[in-house]
Structure 1
Amino acid sequence: MLASDVCPGEETIAAYVARKLARDERDAFDSHLDTCSACQELVAAVARLAPSQSADPVTSIGAASTITQAAAEALRLPGAQLGRYSVLASLGAGGMGVVYAAYDPELDRKIAVKVLRHARAGDQLRDEARAIAKLAHPNVVAVHDVGRADGDVFIAMEHVDGVTVRDWLRTPHRVPEILHVFEQAGAGLAAAHRAGLVHRDVKPSNIMIGNDGRVRVLDFGLALADLEPGTIVGTPAYMAPEQQRGEAVDPRADQYAFCVALWEAVAGRRPEAGGRRPEPGGRRPDPGEPGTLEGVPDRVRRGLRRGLSARPADRFATMDELLSELFPPVPRSRRWM
């Protein structure tokens, strides 16, 4: 199995893009991608070229020199144009696209631009893009524009200076601090769901804590993805069982992923960690079991227990209901005259 701190060989990268890795190998590679920008760029480059290659990606792009060359060709260099935007630098990449820092000369501001590997076409793309652009919420990264350049679809959005929750959690934090961060992220997801959007890739690296202290949910790119029925997208470690099976998903899949991420944040490991994998049907360890989630309020245990239910019908009906269980409103103190 791939070690999380070791970069894989070219055959592994090609097999990952072609979705030919075994589940445990893919999970390990996903964990590696969370922290390795070099592999992120290589995966994105190979993914962008794969549709034009032969049916066997391992053979057609099987040499390290070929992959390196592909990365140089596929990634846009500083100074390249995406519509009216000038690329400044690459910020990161994954199987679904590449994110750049860019400059908007018309409004004289720095932005982030994500170029999507696959995107919906025509009216469907327009409608989804409008829904994202109209989603004005303090806990969702603002989307300024959606367009096409050189045959690719891109999303221009707010550039946030800060740190991802993945990186923030590398240092210890008290449970109340963690809950405060996730309460804001959950509010952003709930707003997206009310707008008819499903994120489909909720995880700590897609939640940003800005230098201004505000938490924002990032990367709604999968909401614009044009996928064949049964296609599995997202990050396996956070996927709901129905998403792992390639079934249609709704906001309850985001709810499940949110609960996995919150468990990981307060417990220091994901629910299936410690040698225990989900049981058949997708059940994860019970948040109420002795020795788990020590120091976590009972209401949070209850919320996680239900949010991690294998069957979508057994979860909360909406993200708002989950948030009400996890973070009940604090009554105002009475003032005595």
Structure 2
Amino acid sequence: MNSWQFDGIDPKEPCVVCEHLRPWLFCRDPSMEQALADVPRFARSREPVLIQGETGTGKELVARALHGLGPRDQGPFVPVNCGAIPDGMLEAELFGYEKGAFTGALRRHRGRFEQAHQGTLFLDEVGEMPPPAQVSLLRVLEERAVHRIGGEAAVTVDVRVVAATHRALDERLASGLFREDLLYRLNVLPLMLPPLRERRTDIPLLAEHFLHHGLQDMGWQPPMPRLTQEASELLARHDWPGNVRELRNLMARLAVRLAEDTRELPASLLYPLLPRAGRERSGVVDGVFIPLGTTLAEAEWLLIDAALKAADYNRSRAAKLLGIGERTLRRKLNAS
């Protein structure tokens, strides 16, 4: 299995999965399953695919799935982040150049299109591409050949192009920052990925996957810790503006903090890792998860229990954490 594929997936996991995509992506939420339904069919085509979705939604994973499921799977997969390359260098990077084409061009350079011959070229953040490069890209898509900078001969390329963007390209179009003819040429087979907040039933599944993957990397052996119901609900209520990438990073931070005998993950372990705004939206009060429908008496006991644990069951310190006197705390404990 390639290093970029999701590995370590339990085949007995009771989730709805598009079986053809299991090595790359897995999901339980119908919105994501619907978004991925066209991927196996699109993979068999050589027409361009345009993947749209917020940052961190898994656009490159989908692009790799399109490559891996198609007839070009034995060819190269070449990713290019169009927003990470300076404007003046993007065309040279994509289409190549001849020796002496410009200052510093000490030898011939094969561009990314040539490197992706008989494979897939993934143009990430294509919405950031400057207008001159857009003109050149459109020409390559129509002619299926590149002209290296400083060269005269056309170099034929057999490349399947998959593009991705987090931008609303219709807005870029209206502002004159993206060419209409290029958009039509790229958007032959469209895919729209939902943000994580719209596929909340996937969040606990993904969280445990990322956590277990991180623990395995550190040498942990099964059984792996599992999320409690409260922890799962806490994660599912968070809006995840950074989407799957944010969730993965949070679980990586959690993995390095766990004691080796941990078997259950309560919400209290996750609370310090969430941003303050996320804690408030998730229904957490001062480090304690309060499920909706909890009675006032039950909520009070949850706060007392959390304070005692935080104070190593020292009643004096726990009372200070709660902002009450030790005698009041003792009375409440006796009453419970």
| Band of TM-score, shorter chain | under 0.3
Q: Which structure's residues are more often helix, by fraction?
A: 2
TM-score normalized by structure 1? 0.28
Higher relative contact order (Cα pairs below 8 Å, separated by 6+ residues): 2
